[in-house]
Amino acid sequence: MAAQGELADKTVVITGAAGGIGSATARLFVAEGATVILLDRDAGPLKELAADMGAHAYDLDLRDEDAIDACVAGILADTDHVDALVNIAGVFVGSEGRVEESVRKTWDLSLDVNLRSTHHLTARLLPHLVARGGGSVVMTSSTQASAADVGWASYGIAKAGVEALTRYVATQYGPDGVRCNCVAPGVTATPHAMERFPEDRATSIKANTPLRRFGRPEELAEAYLFLASPRSSFVTGQVLAVDGGMVVHLPTT
């Protein structure tokens, strides 16, 4: 029986698929008929998710460019086409202190996982999308790319680089039919994210978010679906904030 749904007959690669946002996105894409290829370095949860959804999965450390190259070759050998790439994988490095206190090790981790790996995987799949006559690439940024915080400089700067990369890919590959957009999540209530928020900071963030709550992974998944699918066929080079209005106003408390 042919797949049913908006993404029927589409093949989508999703990085960070074992995480809260990634797994919610993968489930939504499958529900819309897509064949999903899941990438994550967390092999146990990745395999469980893939088995549950009947999806393809590749255990991949995105800091290893040779492994990325081999993974892309394997994907293209195992499937006859890829229509979209959804880059969700990232790392939040934790408190760095002020700029003068941040160290090279932290910057390398932030840049390697959040920016360099996103660029490298995207670059390896772009020729395939061009040869296919087009496709969609969706990146993941953060509110911290556009609004500075008291710490986490390397994270915010790496994510700002992702937004710039989005515009470059959209500009250079638009004539080939490839669209590239970016989702900028606010605080999203995944178990991993909630571990780093003490109660007083969570209360403060919610008070300064117009919708007065954190986002849900399923809400982020809808944004990725919109940008990866024909729903956004005339949208490219854009950053879509999914943050409950966090960065559009002055502090209220």
Kindly state the average pLDDT of the residues 137-156.
Answer: 91
The neighbouring-strand residues paired with 181 are 138
Kindly state the average pLDDT of the residues 138-164.
Answer: 93
Give domain status of residue 62, yes or no: yes
Write the DSSP string, 177-208.
Answer: TEEEEEEEE--B--HHHHTT--HHHHHHHHHT
Give domain status of residue 2, yes or no: no
Structural domains counted in the chain: 1
Give domain status of residue 4, yes or no: no
Question: pLDDT tens digits, residue range 71-128?
Answer: 999 999 999 899 999 999 999 887 788 888 889 999 999 999 999 999 999 999 999 9
Provide the 8-state DSSP code for 215.
B
Kindly state the average pLDDT of the residues 153-162.
Answer: 95
Q: Is the pLDDT of residue 187 over 80?
A: yes
Q: In this structure, what CATH number is given to the domain that contains residue 144?
A: 3.40.50.720
- pLDDT tier at 253, thresholds 50, 70, 90: low
Q: How far apart are CA 37 and CA 138, in angstroms?
A: 15
CB distance 64 to 41 below 8 Å: no
Q: Which domain holds residue 233?
A: 11-113+134-244
Kindly report whether the global pTM for this prediction surpasses the value 0.85.
yes
Give domain status of residue 155, yes or no: yes
| Strand order across the beta sheet in which 135-140 lies | 56-59, 35-40, 11-15, 84-86, 135-140, 178-185, 239-242
Give domain status of residue 191, yes or no: yes
Q: Which residue has the higher pLDDT, 253 or 58?
A: 58
Kindly state the average pLDDT of the residues 11-20.
Answer: 96
Residue 1 has a pLDDT of 41
Kindly state the average pLDDT of the residues 148-160.
Answer: 90
Q: How far apart are CA 67 and CA 151, in angstroms?
A: 32
Give the catalytic positions in this structure: 155
Q: How far apart are CA 219 and CA 146, in angstroms?
A: 21
Encoded amino acid at 77, one letter = A
Which has the minimum average pLDDT: 17-21, 26-30, 244-248? 244-248
The sign of the dihedral angle between the CA atoms of 241, 245, 251, 253 is negative
Q: How many helices (H) and strands (E) does the chain have?
A: 9, 7
Question: pLDDT tens digits, residue range 211-222?
Answer: 999 889 999 999
Give domain status of residue 119, yes or no: no
Task: Give Cα 131 distance to the centre of its chain.
Answer: 24
Q: Which residue has the higher pLDDT, 209 or 3?
A: 209
Give domain status of residue 3, yes or no: no
Q: Is the pLDDT of residue 3 over 60?
A: no
Give domain status of residue 6, yes or no: no
Contacts of 126 (CB under 8 A, 6+ apart): 137, 169, 173, 178
